[in-house]
Amino acid sequence: MDTNPYQFLKPVDQRRIFILVLLITLLLVVLNNFINAPLVTAAAPYGIISYELARTSQNALLILESWDELAREHAAFGLGFDYLFMVAYAISIGLACVLSAGALRRRRWPLVGLGFLLAWALWIAASLDAVENIALVTMLFGNISDSWPAIAYWCAMVKFGLVFAGMIYAFYGLVVWLIIREGAQAA
Task: Look at residue 186 in the predicted model and tell me its pLDDT.
Answer: 65
Q: How confident is the model at residue 94 (pLDDT cuts 50, 70, 90)?
A: very high
**Phi, psi for residue 144 in degrees, rounded to 5:** -110, 70
Dihedral, 142, 148, 153, 159 alpha carbons, nearest 10: -100
113 neighbors 1 (Cβ within 8 angstroms) = yes
Residue 1's alpha-carbon distances to 18, 26, 95, 111, 117, in angstroms, are 21, 30, 16, 11, 8
pTM: 0.91
Cα of first residue to Cα of last residue in the chain, in angstroms, is: 32
* pLDDT tens-digit readout, 43-91: 999 999 999 999 999 999 999 999 999 999 999 999 999 999 999 999 9
Q: How confident is the model at residue 107 (pLDDT cuts 50, 70, 90)?
A: confident
- How do the domains of the chain map onto residue ranges? 11-186
Residue 25: count of CB within 10 angstroms of its CB: 18
Averaged pLDDT, 12-40: 97
